[in-house]
A and B are shown apart, each in its own frame.
Chain A
C-alpha cells in the first residue's frame, strides 16, 4: 500500500498531488495536479503536448459540446500518458498509464479514469491535510 500525501490549500480550496510524467526526451516532468473528483478523465494543458510523451487514443482530436463549462465548447486530444505520483517525503506509486485529454487549460486535473478510481482519497480541510492511498 502506498500513501501519497496531498498538498491542501484554502482560499481558494484545492488539493494537489505531484506527478512525474514521462517526457519526449525520456526523462520525467515534475508537475502538480489538482485532485478533481468531478472529472471522469484527467485533463492536461495543451502546451504540454510539446513536452510530454503521449500515445494518442483511437478517438484522437474531438470537440466537447456542453461539457458543463459555461457557454463553451472546447477541443481536446485524447491520449495516454505514463506517470507516477510522488510526495515530499519521497513516497511513490508504481508507474501507470493514464487516459487524459489535452485541452486549453492551465492546470492538470487528475480525474477518475486510471487514477482516482484506484485510490482511497482522504481530505481534511480543517487541518489542511490529505492523502491518496493506492493498494
Chain B
C-alpha cells in the first residue's frame, strides 16, 4: 500500500520546516490573487506553489497527492482555507442613529 509523501503530522521535537513559515507568508501576501483564482476553497501550498485545491480539507489533500513534485521525498505543505476577508468582524446588526446636525 503506497504511503503518502505529504507530511502533516510532526513529532513533539520536530522543528517546523522553514517552508511552513515562508509558505504562510506567501499565502498572506497572495491572498487576493489566490481567492480570485481558486475561490473560497481549500488549497495545499508547498514552496509557494499550489499543489492541490478542493472544497474540503480532505479533497484538497487528495488533489495534491496527484500533483506532487517528482522524486520520493516527503513534502511539508500547509493547508489553508481561502475566504474573503471582512473588514470588521464584530459589528452588531443594529441601526445607527445619526447625530442631529447643528445648523447654528
Contacts and interface: CB of A to CB of B under 8 A. Distances in A.
Interface string A60-86: 000000111111000000000000001
A88 interface: yes
A96 interface: no
* Range for the number of chain B residues in contact with chain A: 20 to 34
Interface string B39-71: 000100000000000001110000000000000
The majority secondary structure among interface residues of chain B is: loop
Contacts, number: 74
A18 B81 contact: no
Contacts of B28: 7, 9, 14, 16
A12 B85 contact: yes
Interface residues of A, number: 33
A32 B24 contact: yes
A29 interface: yes
A118 interface: no
B92 interface: yes
A14 B29 CA distance: 11
Nearest to A12: B85
Interface of B: 8-12, 14-16, 18, 20-21, 24-25, 28-29, 42, 56-58, 78, 80-83, 85, 87-93
